[in-house]
Structure 1
Amino acid sequence: MNRQDYIHADSQILDGKPVIKGTGLSIEFILEHLSDGWSEQMLIENYPRLTHESLLAVYAFMLQMAKDGLLYLPTYPLKQTS
């Protein structure tokens, strides 16, 4: 899978945050919903332009960020979100 087929960033869309092409949904938005307990099926049902393949691209994108050292555990306490 080529994640560039599904994810792009444009400074005119959400201040350049990476989004799923054709949806305007940011990677951050997708991950927030997944971390809140949403399943892939719930996302796809609520956002019909999402596909299983586009969600796989999100995972591939995050994996590449981790491999590139762009994701790390900070040495200070994280702020709790509600």
Structure 2
Amino acid sequence: MVAVVVERVVVDPKVLRGKPVIKGTRIPVYLILELLAAGMSIKDILREYPELREEDVRAALDYASKLLKQEIVLPLEA
């Protein structure tokens, strides 16, 4: 069963063990977030992953924001 979490982000147990991915790809949301955190611009990401659109990158950010609003956040170990 495929669940649409936010527009353009889906969760399918058959794709990357249910990790949230950009719809129609196998590109996980966490990868987009890691690239942004590493300093890549949206334009850089789109050049590296031409199957993505700017809306996909923004959807990954939207997903992360909504997830953090709903979850109990625990400190990460360094």
TM-score (norm 2): 0.82
Compared with structure 1, are the counterparts of its residues 3 and 51 closer, same or farther at alpha carbon in structure 2 (3 Å cutoff)?
Answer: farther
Shift of 1:26: 0.2
Show the counterpart of 1:72.
73
Residue 33 of structure 1: SS of its match in structure 2? Answer: helix
How many angstroms does 1:25 deviate by? 0.4
Deviations 1:15-50 (A, max 9, x none): 100000122100111111111111110100110111
CA distance in structure 2 between the partners assigned to 1:55 and 1:5 by the alignment: 11
Indicate the residue corresponding to 2:30 in structure 1. 28
Q: Which has the higher strand share?
A: 2
* Structure whose CA Rg is larger: 1
- Candidates 44, 49, 56, aligned match of 1:42: 44
Q: Which residue of 1 aligns with 2:60?
A: 58
Amino-acid identity (%) = 32
Unaligned runs of 5+ in 1: none
Q: 1:73: Cα distance to partner?
A: 4.4
Tell me the matched-pair count. 75
* Letter matched to residue 35 of structure 1: A
Unpaired runs of 5+ residues, structure 2, are none
**Would the alpha carbon gap of residues 46 and 71 (structure 1) be closer, same or farther in structure 2, given more than 3 Å must change?**
farther
RMSD (Å), alpha carbons = 2.0
